């Protein structure tokens, strides 16, 4: 497995129930800014069991062809879904909670 894959998988494994992030968030947290498509490719091809349903596009769109399954899993973790998009989640990019870190990304938590 490549270093890129290991770094991305580490971030994905750290996602907790109710945390919804974007492909770009995962790439950034893995130290790979601008590599959102690489994250998407890894999620689509990996055989490693990771919480894939917690990753969406930057505007909240669910994975095409898997919307119903992804929405069901996200709703079970407290996310609100409307018109095929995450509109609110307990944690992460779509959280309504105030968070001082980092500015502009409410609810995201720093990675180790």
Backbone angles phi, psi at 86, to 5 degrees: -80, 125
pLDDT in tens, 5-39: 999 999 999 999 999 999 999 999 999 999 999 99
Question: 97 pLDDT band (50/70/90 cuts)?
Answer: low
105: pLDDT strictly greater than 90: no
In this prediction the pTM is: 0.85
Q: Please provide the distance, in angstroms rounded to a whole number, between the alpha carbons at the two ends of the chain.
A: 21
- pLDDT of 51 strictly over 70: yes
Maximum CA extent, the chain:
37
Residue-range domains of the chain with CATH = 3-92 (1.10.10.10)
């Amino acid at each position: 497995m490549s270093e890129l894959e290991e770094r991305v998988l580490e971030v994905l494994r750290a996602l907790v129930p109710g945390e919804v992030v974007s492909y770009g968030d995962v790439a950034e947290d893995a130290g790979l800014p601008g590599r959102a498509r690489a994250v998407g490719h890894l999620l689509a091809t990996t055989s490693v069991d990771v919480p894939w349903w917690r990753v969406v596009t930057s505007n909240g769109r669910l994975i095409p062809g898997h919307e119903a399954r992804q929405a069901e899993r996200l709703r079970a973790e407290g996310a609100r879904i409307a018109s095929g998009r995450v509109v609110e989640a307990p944690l992460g990019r779509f959280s309504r909670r105030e968070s001082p870190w980092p500015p502009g990304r409410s609810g995201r938590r720093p990675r180790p």
